[in-house]
Amino acid sequence: MFYQKFVPAPVLSPFVECYFVWESRRTITPQTPVVIESPPTGFGSLVFNLGVPYAVETPRLGKTTVPGQFLTGQATRQYRLHLNGAISMVGIVFKPAGLGSLFGVPMHEFADERTDARAVLGVTIDQLADQLANSPTNPERVVCLEEFLLARLLKNNIRPDRLDFTANQIVGQKGIIHLPSLTDDAFLCRRQFERKFLDRVGVSPKFYARIRRIGHLCSVMASNRWQVSDWHDLLVGAGYYDQSHFIKEFTEFTGKRPSLYVKDNVELSHYLNG
């Protein structure tokens, strides 16, 4: 499989983590289906599936078919993708408040959901999907995505605010952050900050920090091909100082104990070429 990330324009970087292209070099047959699992990462997305329809399985909703173009809010638990046929996807990965800031949608309604993007964003999504399908190269598809966001940004004169800044701080600190300091940075009282954060990000600040800590930890393990030579150093680096607390937290978000997860997970990194 082939998965590539693209960096957004600087003016979009407060809202966008990256663009991505995901393709399979071969067609997946019904006899050899592929199941890919993912822990929650802390990022929402807008995805266009240009290949064969596939299904997602979540603890809350079970197994459901995914729309051709969809929005995802915050994942709060591990989920699985059930893939077959040809994989061809392109999309936008948003920073925690990015979707809410750019499109003004109440993100708490989209947690653990894959929602038809047309139902939320209107017919412009159909036009963008057509442009993507007719673009011959992946860089050209990324240009289509970026131009779509830039038009939105300029038309509505959208600028990052203090909530974008504080939410991005949690990402930058890998979820290891003193939450009361965020309310000071946002110039809001605690109750106002939590309400606005829930609306713009989709979960509470405290819960988001927990998601981001686990998401970052899993990405570190994936980059090391799931070879953990020193659990203590890994956990301290992720801000965990109590092993039993870490095991409980990790199991809650991934559905497996850490020692089993490193041996038995089927994350995307196992399938990527190189």
Q: pLDDT of 165-201, one tens digit each?
A: 999 999 999 999 988 888 888 888 999 999 999 999 9
Same domain, yes or no, for 136 and 175? no
What six digits make up the tokens of 138? 């992946």
Residue 244's domain spans which residues?
162-270
CATH assignment at residue 58: 2.60.120.10
232 compared with 15, residue with greater pLDDT: 15
pLDDT category at 70 given cuts 50, 70, 90 is very high
CATH assignment at residue 223: 1.10.10.60
H or E element, residue 202: none
Q: Does residue 272 carry a pLDDT above 80?
A: no
What six digits make up the tokens of 127? 């036009």
* CA 19 to each of CA 15, 35, 93, 134, 203: distance values in angstroms, whole numbers, following the listed order: 12, 23, 6, 18, 23
Same domain, yes or no, for 57 and 102? yes
What's the CA angle centered on 143, arms 21 and 123, to 5 degrees? 90
Same domain, yes or no, for 29 and 104? yes
Q: Does residue 274 carry a pLDDT above 50?
A: no
Please tell me the distance from the alpha carbon of residue 63 to that of residue 53, in angstroms, as a whole number: 13
Please tell me the distance from the alpha carbon of residue 114 to that of residue 67, in angstroms, as a whole number: 7
Convert the pLDDT of each residue in 75-93 to its tens digit: 999 999 999 888 999 999 9
How many folded domains does the chain comprise? 2
Same domain, yes or no, for 63 and 112? yes
Same domain, yes or no, for 24 and 126? yes
Same domain, yes or no, for 50 and 143? yes
Asked which of 113, 134, 155 is the last residue of a domain, the reply is: 155
What value does the mean pLDDT of the chain take? Answer: 93
Close Cβ partners of 203 (under 8 Å, ≥ 6 residues apart): 74, 76, 108, 111, 211
Same domain, yes or no, for 113 and 233? no
Residue 54, sorted as left (phi over 0), alpha (psi -120 to 50) or beta, turns out to be beta
Same domain, yes or no, for 166 and 182? yes
- Sign, CA dihedral 191-192-193-199, equals positive
Same domain, yes or no, for 207 and 76? no
Convert the pLDDT of each residue in 85-129 to its tens digit: 889 999 999 999 999 999 999 999 999 999 999 999 999 999 999
DSSP annotation of 12 reads G
Task: Give the number of C-alpha atoms closer than 13 A to the C-alpha of residue 221, restricted to the C-beta side.
Answer: 29
What six digits make up the tokens of 252? 């809650």
Same domain, yes or no, for 118 and 169? no
> Is the full-model pTM beyond 0.75?
yes
Q: Does residue 271 carry a pLDDT above 80?
A: no
Strand partners, 83: 34
